[in-house]
Amino acid sequence: MEFSKSLIQWYLNNKRDLPWRNDTNPYTIWLSEIMLQQTRVAQGLPYFLSFTEAFPTVFDLADADEEQVLKLWQGLGYYSRARNLHKTARYIASELNGKFPLNYEGLLKLNGVGEYTAAAIASFSYNENVPVVDGNVYRVLARYFDVETDIASAGAKKEFTRLAAELIPKGKANVFNQAIMEFGALQCVPKNPDCLNCIFNDSCLALQKNKVAQLPVKSKKLKVTNRYLNYLVFLDNHGNTIIRKRTEKGIWHNLYEFPLVETTADDSVETIISQIGNQDFVENQIDEIQLYNAEPIKHKLSHQHLHIHFWKIRVQGVLNHGIDWESVVKSPFPIVIFNFIEKVWR
């Protein structure tokens, strides 16, 4: 098909030089695909380089402590990806002798590997004839073929997957899948694409019908919850503080944080102060309570908007279970908390 031929030629002329494209090693391709979920290439690339330096093989990743993995992941977000990555590496190393499954169906059985990631590894590593369908692919196909199916609807994935499969030239799944994803990332971008300088400006149906801005159709909207977090940063006479590991389910599982008071609204200073003394580990006399940031730090996650205050609390004597700051900074934190540590305590 002329569309596929033109797309592949565009890719060969315009593709970015990215390290995971330099070989067909399923380990590095898997690593890159997990990292780039919900993440821009520019943000993910430094993490990919750090991980491949620290863990050049799946055995190295499997042998690492989870906290070491989370610390390297710090700032990349969606931390369940890192935990699944580590869990899967251990499974591959111990149960599969370090060898990835050799086809799409086998890859799909790995923990944390869905249809998209399995298809990416299968086509990029093994050139298996399976389509890769992500947000970029939805956008390119919806615009070029004027597909008005709501991409959030139940049958959309099957419809777009079937269409993409029909376009793959025989024996060229690897290059076609990378081409259509790259085209969506660089040329057919979500907002204000440069359609005048597009290789498909004479055949794209959305352009001909003046519908580029309306496609792809996506009606489903995320429900966003506001949460109000107050972190209690204790400091004793020896300069020690208190941190805890988030073991409960939800955001930031197995990362560290300061003791937390969460409220249902942006409560008054008096309300927060009244709860500080109720912390079960606080046996020391409190000398000073200081609100570090008068305006809350707003940290947006996919389903939650966090409004965060930090409280600096000086106490007399020595804190039970206190930890020095050199040890604190070695622990994995959510990036919003680590940024506070970097600004205030280093």
Active site residues: 33
User: Exposure string (b/e) for 58-92, b if CB count within 10 Å is 16 or more?
Assistant: bbebbebeeebbbbbbbebbbbebbbbbbbbbbeb
CB 228 within 8 A of CB 262: yes
Cα–Cα dist 148/121, whole Å: 29
CA angle 10, 12, 14 (to 5 degrees): 65
CB 122 within 8 A of CB 104: yes
DSSP state of 319: -
CB 76 within 8 A of CB 35: yes
Reading the block at residue 237, the tokens are 């006479």
CA dist list (Å): 45 to 52, 65, 180, 334: 11, 22, 20, 19
CB 69 within 8 A of CB 31: no
